[in-house]
Amino acid sequence: MTALTALSLAAGCTSGDSQSGAKPQKIEKIGLLVQDMSNPFFSAMNKGAKQAAVKIGATENTQDAQLDLANQNNQIDTFIQQGVNLIIISAVDGSGIRPAIDRARQAGIIVIAVDTPAEGADAVIMTDAVQAGEKSCTYLFKEMGGKGNILLVDGTPIQTIRDRITGCRQAMRHFPEIKVVGHQSSKNDRASGLAVTTDMLTATPDVQGIFGMNDPSALGAVLAVTQAHKTGQVKVTGVDGSPEGVAELKRPGSPFIGTSTQNPAEMVRRAVQVAQDILRDKPPKKKTVLIPSELVTRDNVAQYKGW
């Protein structure tokens, strides 16, 4: 899906949704489903879920899908059996998870998608991913002097990642002398970011900039740049504002120069708030709630509060 699809998802709260069962009177059990707990992003999301649960006096259970749709389907069915009142999900596959979400809603469970849309969910809470990609790449292009060759380190084909690449390409419209000479997908982690960037640098060594669609892939690209002895020649930016990204921004001489922020803990806290509003018959005016992204660079990293 594209940014245009995201906008269409935002148009209404109930269009195309399955008939849901009776909603609970109170949220007492929260189930959080994350894509991959080895990514610090989802660890921060888990922390936010536990904070939100304590605040409203609910219990909380987090399950890791390990990037497997079948796992996530089974985890939803388990939550249904356990009588969970609210499922918060970062979907591995936003369309493939639809039947399981329908089963949950038919059981009267509120389902809120976070980080990326999931079909059939009551609402979606996510970073303005197009904005994040555009801010990160605009800064990269400016630091490159407005011209040169770049690599795009993409990721798994979910909407939030596609939107970051869309945002980057939107930024390119203002920089006609920037050219994409390589574009490959990572698995959203540092190891695969290193591997695909190494391949692209080997095939096309004349590169001045790299955009990684998240911090782990961008930091893998940083390592590839270092191993190719191109430190000082290539600049790298990412998306997340992760603790690892912040540490790299503070490292003298690093190719990593900027990252657009996300706030995973806030996404989950906002999801709980939206669920409570739904119980009060006050659903969000738009199904997709976008959280703005900010740019963190070496110049302002000391003021960034982080995750």
Instruction: Give the DSSP H or E segment for 217.
Output: helix 215-227
- The mean pLDDT value for 5-15 works out to 37
* Claim to verify: residue 133 and residue 258 sit in the same structural domain: yes
pLDDT band at residue 37 using 50, 70 and 90 as cut-offs:
very high
Q: Mean pLDDT score of the chain, rounded to an integer?
A: 93
Asked whether residue 215 falls in the same domain as residue 155, the answer is yes
- Indicate if 48 and 69 belong to the same structural domain: yes
257 and 268 belong to one structural domain: no
**Residues 200 and 210 sit within 8 Å (Cβ to Cβ):** no
Closest CA to 94 of 114, 64, 79: 114
User: Which residues are 110's β-sheet partners?
Assistant: 86
Same domain, 142 and 192: yes
Whether 10 and 32 share a structural domain: yes
For residues 215 and 1, what is the distance between their CA atoms, to the nearest angstrom? 22
**Which SS3 state, helix, strand or coil, does residue 234 take?**
strand
3-state DSSP call for residue 143?
helix
pLDDT digits (tens, 9 = 90+) for 249-268: 999 999 999 999 999 999 99
Average pLDDT over residues 158-178: 97
| pLDDT for the residue 23 | 73
Q: DSSP secondary-structure letter at 83?
A: T
Judged against a pLDDT cut of 90, whether residue 39 lies above it is answered with no
CATH of the domain at 185: 3.40.50.2300
Residue 192 has pLDDT above 70, yes or no: yes
pLDDT of residue 22 exceeding 90: no
Q: What is the pLDDT of residue 24?
A: 75
Residue 11 has pLDDT above 50, yes or no: no
Give me the torsion for CA of 242, 243, 244, 245, rounded to 10°: 50
Residues 149 and 193 in one domain: yes
Q: Torsion angle of alpha carbons 166, 123, 65, 55, nearest 10°?
A: 120
- pLDDT above 50 (res 7): no
Number of domains in the chain: 2
* 271 and 241 part of one domain: no
Q: 69 with 182, same domain?
A: no
Report the predicted TM-score, pTM, of the whole model to 2 decimal places.
0.84
Same domain, 110 and 137: no
**Which pLDDT does position 137 carry in this prediction?**
98
- In percent, how much of the chain has pLDDT > 70? 93
Q: Does 226 score more than 70 pLDDT?
A: yes
pLDDT value of position 21: 64
pLDDT at 96: 97
- Residue 24: Cβ-neighbour burial (10 angstroms; 0-12, 13-18, 19+): middle
Range of the domain at 280: 3-125+264-289
Is 20 a residue whose pLDDT tops 80?
A: no
170-176 long-range Cβ contacts below 8 angstroms, 24+ apart: 170/130, 170/133, 170/134, 171/133, 171/134, 171/137, 171/138, 171/141, 172/137, 172/141, 174/138, 174/141, 175/141, 175/146, 175/147
Mean pLDDT, residues 138-143 taken together = 98
d(CA 84, CA 18): 19
Q: Are residues 249 and 277 in the same domain?
A: no
Q: How confident is the model at residue 14 (pLDDT cuts 50, 70, 90)?
A: very low
Same domain, residue pair 242 and 228 = yes
Q: For residue 9, is pLDDT > 50?
A: no
